[in-house]
Structure 1
Amino acid sequence: MKALVLPTALPIAMIATLLAAAPAAAQLSPKSDGPIDIAADVAEVAQSACSSTWRGNAEALQGDARLRADVIRAFFEAKPKKPGGASNDCGDLTRLEAEGSVYYVTPDRRVRSDAATYEAKTETIVMTGDVVAVQGQNVLRGSRMVINAETGEGRMVGTAAGPNQTGRPRAVFYPSKKTQSPSK
């Protein structure tokens, strides 16, 4: 499989012609159905495999959501070859994989992990490794978190179960500060 390596200094129009735009159904952001914009220091495109690899300060943006990592791989639906056609046509985005210093950020949530996979069909993000989720002052830790990108709901699991076991999901929640009414 040959890979085309593109420095990000190339015009955006050239990269856009090589990669299919993400479908409206693909949602990194629960509040957006716009395209997913991916950028990095270097982009490697494997048209025959309908995939691309983005290395170095890789970032996928959609609306107000951001997925950052050392490496992001994008996978697209392979369309049937046209009669007499020499190359594959690629369709909609099906999956994003991120590895190394992964961050998923929305206006109300920040999640850090070692690796993540976004599945467009189910609109889920699975983050693994040392997962730390922060919402306001609240902090949740575990080893695997599944986030529904459409609803924003998530589920955290750990590497152990049972009382006094290390590796169980752990959280610290802060109560809302109540304002006191002035006395009369």
Structure 2
Amino acid sequence: MRGMRSIGIILATSLAVAATGVAVAQVRQEQPTSALKGHNSNAPVDVTADRIEVQDRADRAIFAGNVHVTQAELNLDTARLTVAYSGGKQGARGVQIRRLDAAGGVVVRSPSETAKGDFGIYDLDAKLITLIGNVQLTRGPNIVNGQRLVINLETGRAVVDGGPPGVNSSGGRVTGHFTVPQKNGS
């Protein structure tokens, strides 16, 4: 009888652990991910600006003044943008954009998030967007501040770092402001 009781306890414990695992999996699936998760970095890139300088020998183009970039649902605004590309030589099948370097204040928008920083790098091959300097990531009323933001477009994961201590006003720390869902009743 005692052996049956032990098996019953083990079975009940196993079922509770399995149920908890399912509940955790359901919670994880319901958590919102970045709207940039799965962003198509192969989509066409449209750029408008006040001025363009093409440096063909260096395989780059420099856009300046009110630069606006659109790729699918991603928008980027900045004062200056350097586009590094390959395939611009004769006989090539067209230009392939490899990287966008933004300077002079950068704002990246998706349908649900806005990220700001002093400088930005969009590595199309690695599918990473990096913002550096006075970074702010906003989603609805929630805000995270730091010195570096890296967004992985494949996973939708965004990581904010505070930077080295003593270099900025935050002392090398990440700060955030988050709303708490209100519950009915006390």
Q: TM-score, normalised by structure 2?
A: 0.69
Paired residue secondary structure (1:48): helix
Are 1:52 and 2:57 an aligned pair?
no
Are 1:75 and 2:80 an aligned pair?
no
Q: Please list, as runs of the form range in 1=range in 2, the aligned pairs for 1:2-151 lying within 5 A after superposition.
A: 30-32=38-40, 33-78=42-87, 91-151=95-155
Cα deviation, residue 121, structure 1: 1.1
Q: Is the contact made by 1:127 and 1:144 (CA closer than 8 Å) also made in structure 2?
A: yes
Paired residue secondary structure (2:95): strand
Note the residue ranges of structure 2 that are not aligned, 5 or more in a row: 1-35
Counterpart CA distance in 2 for 1:53 and 1:176 is 45
Q: Is the contact made by 2:85 and 2:97 (CA closer than 8 Å) also made in structure 1?
A: yes
Q: Runs (4+) of structure 1 moved beyond 2 Å?
A: 28-34, 78-82, 88-91, 149-152
Cα deviation, residue 59, structure 1: 1.2
Change (3 A) 1:29 1:52: farther
Structure 1 residue corresponding to 2:180, chosen from 157, 166, 175: 175
Counterpart CA distance in 1 for 2:37 and 2:85 is 19
2:156 aligned residue: 152
* Structure (1/2) with the larger strand percentage: 1
Could you tell me the percent identity over the aligned residues? 26
Output the amino acid matched with 1:175.
Answer: V
Q: Who wins on radius of gyration, i.e. which is larger? A: 2
Q: TM-score, normalised by structure 1?
A: 0.70
Output the amino acid matched with 2:71.
Answer: Q
Cα deviation, residue 167, structure 1: 2.7
Q: Is the contact made by 1:113 and 1:131 (CA closer than 8 Å) also made in structure 2?
A: yes
* Structure (1/2) with the larger helix percentage: 2
